[in-house]
Amino acid sequence: MQKRKLGKGGLEVSTIGMGCMNLSFGTGKAADVADGIEVIRAGYAKGITFFDTAEAYGPFTNEELVGKALEPFRKEVIIATKFGMISEEGGLNSRPDHIKKVVESSLKRLRTDYIDLLYQHRVDPNVPIEDVAGTVKELIQAGKVKYFGLSEAGADTIRRANAVLPVAAVQNQYSIWTREPEETVLPVCEELGIGFVPWGPLGTGFLTGTITPDTTFDCATDLRASFPRFSREAMKANMPLVEMLADVARRKGVSTVQIALSWLLAQKPFIVPIPGMDKLEYIEDNISSVDVSLTSDDLREIEERLANISIQGERLSKELLSLSE
């Protein structure tokens, strides 16, 4: 597996990371713990060293799963987790005392004495980002955290946080059908030397080519049931995007998944996607994208065809969009 660096601090990770959330939460029924461990360890055996989780996934159960799966080779992997999305009071909470409390709990669930990359899960409007960065700085000085990250943050917040503590990575939703970060976030990351970690790099499954306009999502277990972009009308309108990716994939002799991920990798050298991998068969397909070479002609064709496709539907529910900058 090839490697890429996130930020200026020397954080080196596999070029494709593993998003672990779907094993416990978000897009269907949670996997059996034994099956989840098998998937995570299979990813490691294939060369993945970067594993992403959060206290909010489950909640809590995904950190427990990741910790148990990675315990035998903890020092060979990079674990990223997140704070601030949930609290006893409900809603966002990035108060300094709460951050410290969450980190202690995450360390126990992850079966480790340090967190490689600690993200603020969502920006808390009630706590200055300078206070958040300062708190994580204290945790780094205490040896409990190594690197600081932000999730779903805007350019101004990134600048202000980075002025207090170097930000290693920003994790925002980004894919060939969700390109908002290109406007201001990616440029500021490039300017400041910050890595960028796209979540949902396969369009939360839509870009895999396995979803049709007739696909339905369980409201009780699948967040996509509330996403406007996954309504039947929007999926039907957005199918030309998948067809375009499939055309390119057929010509290159690879999968639609590999084209979607290789397109992301071609955008910037500091981008490290974390596709969700909740089944063994997904792993090889995802990591093989590293070996797909998109030429300048390929990339130009994709852009030209994208210009004629109007993506329909908001990327997230109103509730979740309200938590993003």
Supply the residues annotated as catalytic. Answer: 57
Which one-letter DSSP state was computed for residue 77? S
- Please give the full DSSP string across 45-96, using - where no structure is assigned: HTT--EEE--TTTTTTHHHHHHHHHHGGGGGGSEEEEEESS--TTSS----H
217 contacts 225 by C-beta, under 8 angstroms:
yes
313 contacts 232 by C-beta, under 8 angstroms:
no
The residues, any chain, with a CB within 8 Å of residue 43's CB and separated by 6 or more, are 18, 51, 277, 283
Kind and range of the H or E run holding 280: helix 280-287
What is the C-alpha separation between 87 and 303, in angstroms, rounded? 42
What is the C-alpha separation between 39 and 62, in angstroms, rounded? 13
Q: Which three-class secondary structure state does DSSP give residue 194? A: coil
